[in-house]
Structure 1
Amino acid sequence: MSTAARFSLKRQLLLWLLLPQLVLWLMGGVLAFRVALTYAEKAIDQSLTQSVRSLARQVKPFGSGLLVDFPRAAQDIIEQDPKDRVTYMVSSPPGSFLLGNGKLLPGPPAGMVVPQNEPVLYNLVLEGKSMRVASIDLSFGDGMTAQRMRVQVAKSLVVQQGIARELVRDVLFPLLLLGAVLSVLVYAGIRRGLLPLQRLEAQLANRTAASLSPIEMTQAPEEVQSLAMVLNQLLTTLRRSLSQEKRFLNDAAHQLRTPLAGLISQTELAMQETEPAALQQRLTKVHTGAQRSAHLVHQLLSLARTEAEITLQPVDLAALAREVAREWTPRAVAAGVDLGYEGEDALSAPGDKLLLREVLNNLIDNALRYAGRGTTVTLRARAEGAHGVLEVEDNGPGLSAEDMERVFERFWRASELPGGCGLGLAIVAEIAQRHGGNTYAFAVEPQGLRIKLELPLSP
């Protein structure tokens, strides 16, 4: 069994709901830190640009020299934060220390375009510390003694990172609390959402072969109700199958008991006979009883087969009827019956060919058995509206009006002639029902019986 199969549905839901939340929280933290660094960098850049411009205005050209007007108050403003001391420097020419409060600051990196009289910003590492530097180059002096001056202001990026961390902490901590609350709500929601499945499991656990009543899930979600509906269909099919099996066993036990008892009785009497003629008579009765038992078993198995699930496929009813009629012709001739076919050359309808063959076999067998010698039996296949019709008609003695109402009942017989068991027409009716069709019995004038089977031409 795989690892995924061992996980419960609750664990899988928690995993797929909470894991993305954790990933999004971490991604949000990284993104928030980057955004905070960007905004902190913008704030530092604005401060450094303003400071370097202010400092540049304090250094004024005077003749061929410089006048530094940098009062103590301005110096205190620049250095007001003792935790994040600002380093400033004035050099003229660039790189030659003139004024400042720290060591010589490196100039802009090589390859960087440095416009005249406009500040540029860049990063550097000084004494192991990352710093942000604003630098501006100015020209002073007359045309004969033109000189350049560089003003630089630098600030450590430690404060920038600290601000970013504070912003991230202030943003993510409430999000973490909300995530914890959300996790609890998700867990409670999943647990509550799975309660209908637990109730469904409990109801199924209480079902036995003797009690397959439908599952009731009236206040469950739509998905669970759909599952319960499918299970109810399965329980209905299983209940019907068990009922059919029980009915088959009861019918078989009931119907086989009498002929088997007769066989045992006849064999016991035959074993006591000493006269050959009497022994032959007993054996003839045993043979007849065995034939009836075999016929009964065949009919019971046919009845059981009709109650199984069937698959409908296109069947040519006319061709099937002609084929079955040819198969029964030798027996009809032996019984002195004129068996013939009337109807369409071709008639296609959805059905189970094996079961429809069983229908025709039973109808012809009944007609040959009870119509009598010298009669005519006609097998027909024709279309009638939206139905395909199979029917067998004979001009035998027929049935009374009272008997006509019971002709399709199981184990009911209108005649005591040997060989029958009262299941032939019941099997025909059962097969017709499984095909979505109907069976009818009609009296024929002046005498006779017609059994009609209607099958829909489309499923």
Structure 2
Amino acid sequence: MKQAGRAPGLSLKRQLLLWLLLPQLVLWLAGGVLAWRVALNYAEKGIDQSLTQSVRSLARQVKPIGSGLLVDFPRAAQDILEQDPTDRVGYMVSSPPGRFVLGNGQLPPPPPGITIDAGEPLIYEAKLAGKPVRVALLEVNYGEADAPQRLRVQVAKSLAVQQRIARELVADILLPLLVLGLLLGVLMYAGIARGLRPLKRLEAQLGDRAGRTLAALPPIELKEAPQEVHSLAAAVNQLLDAVRRSLSQEKRFLNDAAHQLRTPLAGLISQTELALQETEPQALKERLGKVHAGALRSAHLVHQLLSLARTEAEVSLQPLDLAALAREVAREWTPRALAARVDLGYEGEDTLTVAGEKLLLRESLNNLIENALRYAGRDARVTVRVLRQGTEAVIEVEDSGPGLPESDRARVFERFWRASELPGGCGLGLAIVAEIAQRHGGGASVHAVQPSGLLVRLTLPLPGLKT
């Protein structure tokens, strides 16, 4: 049952707008709270200054005369204090402090425990009729030296004006910022839309390639685009190039397989047709022997082609003991070497750890030893070596056979190239060896041996060491 695809999330444009506008909104709200606190603070300072002036002025209107008081507080001044019903100013004169003398209401005393110095105004907050007020208090001394007295003057003002001033100030600050924020949001939307146009062009180019085969896909070209979009296009081009290389390798493998299998299969068909026409047992046996040899040759070719295809796949490198692997493969070939009267031996390190694919390295050793045994000839010597040279591990297979001329040594790693017409070979063994070495980050080379013979060398990088 086909599973439903996951629904797409927010578009890139909306995500960018969200992450750009959300911090702006948070900063706007934080700015509003900060502006409100600042506005309240400045309004409080203004009220305190006004109350201080009012309480000093009122205190000057109360003049002590002997042991009494003369209150020069005309009705006009009282009307000015009481003209704003929403922000009514309360005042009270008391002597001794707290005993009402005159005023428009009983004002709350200062908080307990506060020391009041004569002649120095005191500002404090209190509640009057359940509403918060700001009170300024000033005490003055009067009377005779033998009968001192103290006069307290209080002026109170509600905090409504403070809050109104703060609201007006915050509105004057935040409304222009809100308008600027909206304008900035529009500009950001337009800028994001313009910045994402290269992605739209990239999408259009990819859409134009939807109906084409992968091998015929041209690279994506973006003339004017940000660096990130160029990087994305370059990554897509690399992917397309890798796909093209993979298809090319697959096509080449199929072509090689078809070309190389055509001849032995045609030979098998012709030999079986002739065998079917034979009546003599001896002649029939000879024909069947040729069919068997052709089948073995075809099986070997198929094995080599599959090995070649395997080397072109991704290689998973794991730590392994290369010296132990070489000794193991050499022991496996010992019976065949004895049958061919070839002295097969191993020299080199007892243990040497490399990062490699065991199956591929075993295949390369099999191909090297098989080639040496086939072409070295009887009574030859074949030596397998695993050595450490600096930052590299070296695999060598040396034989004492006739060797190769210098002109042929340059072509030994080409596919399907053969230096000898001896039966059994297909020209892929050393090509597979070179491909395996390359897949492991190393290389392959061939050298002449004096007085005669051939040496094939593979180099592999040692793990954790750099050249």
Normalised to the residue count of structure 2, the TM-score between the two structures is: 0.85
Distance change >3 Å, CA 189–CA 59, structure 1 → 2: same
Q: Which moved more, 1:319-328 or 1:383-392?
A: 383-392
Distance change >3 Å, CA 344–CA 155, structure 1 → 2: closer
Spell out, residue by residue over 1:125-165, the C-alpha distance to the aligned partner (whole angstroms, 9 max, x if none): 44565432223334433366554433222223222211111
Equivalent residue in structure 2 for 1:426, among 431, 434, 447? 431
Equivalent residue in structure 1 for 2:286, among 272, 281, 287? 281
Equivalent residue in structure 2 for 1:40, among 40, 43, 46? 43
User: Match of 1:91?
Assistant: 94
Code of the aligned partner of 2:247: L
Distance change >3 Å, CA 365–CA 51, structure 1 → 2: same
User: Match of 1:252?
Assistant: 257
User: Match of 1:301?
Assistant: 306
Alignment root-mean-square deviation, CA: 3.2
Equivalent residue in structure 1 for 2:125, among 101, 123, 147? 123
Distance change >3 Å, CA 4–CA 186, structure 1 → 2: farther
Mapped to 2, the partners of 1:73 and 1:416 lie a distance apart of 133
Mapped to 1, the partners of 2:106 and 2:163 lie a distance apart of 25
Mapped to 1, the partners of 2:11 and 2:178 lie a distance apart of 27
Q: Which moved more, 1:179-188 or 1:113-122?
A: 113-122
Spell out, residue by residue over 1:364-392, the C-alpha distance to the aligned partner (whole angstroms, 9 max, x if none): 21122233333333333345565543333
Does 1:366 pair with 2:371? yes
Q: Helix, strand or coil: the match of 2:214? A: coil
Mapped to 2, the partners of 1:259 and 1:247 lie a distance apart of 19
Q: Which moved more, 1:403-412 or 1:325-334?
A: 403-412
Matches within 5 A, 1:348-387: 349-383=354-388, 387=392
User: Match of 2:60?
Assistant: 57
Does 1:7 pair with 2:16? no
Distance change >3 Å, CA 157–CA 444, structure 1 → 2: closer
Distance change >3 Å, CA 284–CA 95, structure 1 → 2: same
- Kindly state the Cα deviation for residue 59 of structure 1 after the two structures are TM-superposed: 0.9
User: Match of 1:155?
Assistant: 157
Q: Helix, strand or coil: the match of 1:6? A: coil
Equivalent residue in structure 1 for 2:408, among 403, 411, 419? 403
- Kindly state the Cα deviation for residue 333 of structure 1 after the two structures are TM-superposed: 1.2
User: Match of 1:27?
Assistant: 30
Spell out, residue by residue over 1:195-227, the C-alpha distance to the aligned partner (whole angstroms, 9 max, x if none): 344344444445552245544456544444444
User: Match of 2:170?
Assistant: 168
Point out where structure 1 has 5 or more consecutive residues left out of the alignment.
none
Matches within 5 A, 1:333-348: 333-347=338-352
Does 1:262 pair with 2:264? no
Equivalent residue in structure 2 for 1:179, among 175, 178, 181? 181
- Kindly state the Cα deviation for residue 288 of structure 1 after the two structures are TM-superposed: 1.7
Mapped to 1, the partners of 2:455 and 2:91 lie a distance apart of 120
Mapped to 1, the partners of 2:319 and 2:334 lie a distance apart of 26
Spell out, residue by residue over 1:12-43, the C-alpha distance to the aligned partner (whole angstroms, 9 max, x if none): 22112111111111121122112111111111
Mapped to 1, the partners of 2:282 and 2:7 lie a distance apart of 80
Is the 1:121–1:133 Cα contact (8 Å) retained in structure 2? yes
Q: Helix, strand or coil: the match of 1:152? A: strand
Q: Which moved more, 1:192-201 or 1:287-296?
A: 192-201
Q: Helix, strand or coil: the match of 2:397? A: strand
Q: Which moved more, 1:253-262 or 1:216-225?
A: 216-225
Spell out, residue by residue over 1:296-329, the C-alpha distance to the aligned partner (whole angstroms, 9 max, x if none): 1110111112112224455544443332222111
Spell out, residue by residue over 1:229-249, the C-alpha distance to the aligned partner (whole angstroms, 9 max, x if none): 444444333332222222112
- Kindly state the Cα deviation for residue 291 of structure 1 after the two structures are TM-superposed: 1.2
Q: Helix, strand or coil: the match of 1:21? A: helix
User: Match of 2:190?
Assistant: 188
Equivalent residue in structure 1 for 2:136, among 124, 134, 137? 134
Mapped to 2, the partners of 1:232 and 1:242 lie a distance apart of 15
User: Match of 1:209?
Assistant: 214
Mapped to 2, the partners of 1:200 and 1:324 lie a distance apart of 53
Is the 1:95–1:104 Cα contact (8 Å) retained in structure 2? no
Code of the aligned partner of 2:163: Q
Mapped to 2, the partners of 1:291 and 1:58 lie a distance apart of 131
- Kindly state the Cα deviation for residue 350 of structure 1 after the two structures are TM-superposed: 4.6
Q: Helix, strand or coil: the match of 1:341? A: strand
Mapped to 1, the partners of 2:185 and 2:5 lie a distance apart of 27
Number of residue-to-residue matches in the alignment: 458
Mapped to 2, the partners of 1:8 and 1:243 lie a distance apart of 37
Mapped to 2, the partners of 1:87 and 1:348 lie a distance apart of 97
Mapped to 2, the partners of 1:445 and 1:195 lie a distance apart of 68
Mapped to 2, the partners of 1:70 and 1:352 lie a distance apart of 108
Q: Helix, strand or coil: the match of 1:308? A: coil
Mapped to 2, the partners of 1:283 and 1:174 lie a distance apart of 101
Mapped to 2, the partners of 1:384 and 1:88 lie a distance apart of 103
Is the 1:381–1:391 Cα contact (8 Å) retained in structure 2? yes
Point out where structure 2 has 5 or more consecutive residues left out of the alignment.
none
Normalised to the residue count of structure 1, the TM-score between the two structures is: 0.87
Distance change >3 Å, CA 380–CA 89, structure 1 → 2: closer
